[in-house]
Structure 1
């Protein structure tokens, strides 16, 4: 599980994340109160129709079914947009220099649960796909959906008193706003 103390994988994308974190830490070493707020795979909310969940919904519509990879037990961290915004404000106001913060409301939502919520809302079948089938169904997102990538915000919550207050990812999908207008 990724924690605030985890260093980004130098081989991971986007490489810009590693560069920006290194720049923030260099500034902190020079006395600038710079910190890093890391966002999870899904930053969701009513304005997210073109984001990651919106893309999964568009793929489900185009493919005629919602899907997950293997048994769907891979986990994604997620945060509501308004909770993330509140953490950015807290970071600016009071995070110590060099702080690594995680904007994580849901530590690990199983990908199968995401696919099932999308399938329910669209009234489409939900299926598990092999890794090879996932690439055909999801395109480049197949590799992303196959990774288990939970993350914790325990240290962030303790440091800044931040507590997510908005709906979690599945509850947000169930609200239905992702499925109105395109």
Structure 2
């Protein structure tokens, strides 16, 4: 039996219950530590997102039926404005939401977040949906943040 390879690109933000080490958990930890939920500039830079259960469905579809060599994007939301993410975190933590300059952001966000928070990387999964019939059905990133599981414990 031969093998078929495909390239699968995950969204920058993979979210869902059990996400304790991803971007959203790190943003929440930073907001708690600093006392504000922050974004850079006007916050219009966008991050693609996918719920982890929708990503799992896509991986199954890839194994079952992906065309050889197909580049596939695991993206449910093409780009969530970073300000919307900061606003949702601020609401849940009851913290002010503030805009930072790039210089302030490099001091505010530490570790792997610092160089990433001002980037935008919208991505489309239109071809993936067409090729595999993939239809994300789980909560959006903002709905998942507002659900509250990120703030338990």
Structure 2 length-normalised TM: 0.96
Question: 1: distance between equivalents of 2:117 and 2:45?
Answer: 7
1:35, 1:96 within 8 Å by CA — same for their partners in 2?
A: yes
Q: Structure 1 runs of 4+ off > 2 angstroms?
A: none
Of 90, 95, 98, 1:124 maps to 95
Higher strand share: 2
| Cα distance, 1:78 vs structure 2 | 0.4
Report how far residue 40 of structure 1 moved: 1.1
Give the structure-1-normalised TM-score: 0.81
How far, CA to CA, are the matches of 1:136 and 1:125 in structure 2? 18
CA distance in 2, matches of 1:34, 1:125: 47
Q: Is 1:108 the counterpart of 2:75 in the alignment?
A: no
- Which residue in 2 is equivalent to 1:169? 141
1:83-162 superposed matches below 5 A: 83-140=54-111, 141-162=113-134
- C-alpha distance in structure 1 between counterparts of 2:32 and 2:101, whole Å: 20
Task: State the Cα deviation string for residues 138-181 of structure 1 (Å, max 9, x = none).
Answer: 02423201111100000000000000000010000000000001
**Structural RMSD (CA):** 0.9
Give the Cα separation in 2 of the matches to 1:70 and 1:142: 14
Aligned equivalents of 1:94, 1:50: Cα separation in 2: 31
For 1:9-88, list aligned pairs within 5 A: 32-88=3-59
Q: Which runs of no fewer than 5 residues in structure 2 stay unpaired? A: none
Retained in 2: the 8 A contact 1:69–1:142? no
Encode CA deviations 1:75-100: one digit per residue, 9 max, x unaligned: 00000000000000000000011011
**How many residues are matched?**
151
> Are the counterparts in 2 of residues 113 and 170 from structure 1 also a CA contact under 8 Å?
yes
